[in-house]
Amino acid sequence: MRVLVTGGAGFIGSHYVRTAVTETDDKITVLDALTYAGNLANLEPVSGGFEFVHGDICDAELLAHVVPGHDVVVNFAAESHVDRSIAGAAPFVRANVLGTQTLMQACLDAGVGKVVQVSTDEVYGSIDSGSWDESAPLRPRSPYSAAKAGGDMIALAYAVTHGLPVCVTRCGNNYGPYQYPEKVIPLFITNLLEGRKVPLYGDGGNVRDWIHVDDHCRAIRLVVDVGEPGEVYHVAGTAELTNLELTGKLLDALGAGWDMVERVPDRPGHDRRYSLDDAKLRALGYAPRVPFDEGLAATVRWYADNAAWWAPLKAAPS
């Protein structure tokens, strides 16, 4: 099977590629614009096992050359950092909405057999109790999540209007190796390794559902294999934690005290809680394999052992 992975040099996309190269016979093409969060070093463990194309999913002419001949397209390409979207929304709308539309059209024109649009639980807004199923209304509250919701709706519209075999996956917060150190877990780990304080938003009571990137990528692969076109599938995590609880676990793992925490003002529109019901995906045979505490400990060890990967990223302007 020939698989095009867009955004395949980013955190989640590169994990998908590394796994596909080492565990399947798929022929993998990676398309990535190599923005600040895209890094070919993420793919070094499988160097030579895939074809790489440097490019942007907004480039229709490029896609017209790259997409044909692929059986499956998995779209990880996105701007994904909420704080950056608050500072400037335009790149998020361009990549997450226009880029998705351009890619869907290219897939339609090329007759691609399966397309998976990788999305986020953030499109639903905030939920006080219980969990969203796939029929929940979209109520995004940040420019990032609004742009992802827009891309999802474009992708599903291509399924309904044109019969493009698209599935959408929506997942909670990912963690694991090779995650760009602006996100909370790698930021806190690397700050503590450097002897620097960690910034905790507001009262620390915001709740997120955490999943190891390996579990997420296995779920996506299952949707590639057996997901029904036009359907949305949730990928729930293995630990719902407040940011305060997460901070405590990271402090313990790095042998640091609460004096290393700096309270900072909450960000605008900060969603209080996310939670997904993934019964639909579990009915296809999915179950997570990585317990949170085990996965977090392995992640801390990876960052401790790989300062050569993350230190230049933190030092570089972005």
Asked if residue 110 has pLDDT above 80, the reply is: yes
Q: What is the CATH classification number for the domain harbouring 86? A: 3.40.50.720
Q: What is the CATH classification number for the domain harbouring 184? A: 3.90.25.10
SS3 content of the chain, % helix, strand, coil (to 5): 45, 20, 35
The helix/strand/coil state of 192 is helix
Asked if residue 115 has pLDDT above 80, the reply is: yes
Beta strands in 121-226 (DSSP E): 166-171, 173-175, 198-201, 207-212
Same domain, 226 and 114: yes
Which residues form the catalytic set?
121-122, 144
**Residue 23 burial (C-beta neighbours within 10 Å; 0-12, 13-18, 19+):** exposed
Asked if residue 316 has pLDDT above 90, the reply is: no
Average pLDDT, the chain: 96
Mean pLDDT of 33-50: 96
Percentage with pLDDT > 70 across the chain? 100
CA distance 36 to 8: 13
Is the pTM value of this prediction over 0.75? Answer: yes
**Residue 201 burial (C-beta neighbours within 10 Å; 0-12, 13-18, 19+):** middle
Residues 12-26 have pLDDT tens digits of 999 999 999 999 999
Residue 219 domain flag: yes
CA distance 10 to 20: 15
Query: Which residues fall within 8 angstroms of residue 283, CB to CB, at 6 or more apart?
Result: none
Same domain, 128 and 198: no
Same domain, 113 and 157: yes
Same domain, 61 and 111: yes
Residues 267-278 have pLDDT tens digits of 898 999 999 999
Residue 277 domain flag: no
Residue 193 domain flag: yes
Ramachandran region, residue 255 (left: φ > 0; alpha: ψ -120 to 50; beta: rest): left
Residue 278 domain flag: no
Residues 161-190 have pLDDT tens digits of 999 999 999 999 999 999 999 999 999 999
What CA–CA distances, in Å, run from 174 to 41, 163, 296? Answer: 19, 31, 11
Same domain, 167 and 153: yes
Task: Indicate the residue type of 170.
Answer: R
Mean pLDDT of 59-76: 98
Would the CA dihedral through 188, 296, 233, 277 be positive or negative?
negative
Asked if residue 318 has pLDDT above 70, the reply is: no
Closest of 158, 168, 194 to residue 310, by C-alpha: 194
Percentage with pLDDT > 90 across the chain? 95
Residue 283 domain flag: no
Residues 220-272 have pLDDT tens digits of 999 999 999 999 999 999 999 999 999 999 999 999 999 999 999 988 989 99
Same domain, 219 and 204: no
The helix/strand/coil state of 318 is coil
The helix/strand/coil state of 278 is coil
Query: Which residues fall within 8 angstroms of residue 143, CB to CB, at 6 or more apart?
Result: 85, 86, 89, 92, 93
Q: pLDDT value at position 154?
A: 98
Residue 282 domain flag: no
Strands 239-242 and 207-212: antiparallel
Same domain, 82 and 134: yes
Residue 250 domain flag: yes
Same domain, 86 and 142: yes
Number of domains in the chain: 2
Q: pLDDT value at position 90?
A: 94
The helix/strand/coil state of 115 is strand
Same domain, 117 and 191: no
In which domain, by residue range, is 201 found? 177-208+239-272+292-313
The helix/strand/coil state of 119 is strand
Asked if residue 100 has pLDDT above 80, the reply is: yes
Residue 200 domain flag: yes
Task: Indicate the residue type of 138.
Answer: L
Q: What are the tokens at 251?
A: 């402090």
pLDDT confidence band for 123 (50 / 70 / 90): very high
Same domain, 188 and 53: no
Cα 36 off chain centre by = 15
Query: Which residues fall within 8 angstroms of residue 192, CB to CB, at 6 or more apart?
Result: 198, 250, 251, 254, 256, 260
Q: pLDDT value at position 269?
A: 86
Same domain, 81 and 111: yes
Same domain, 132 and 152: yes
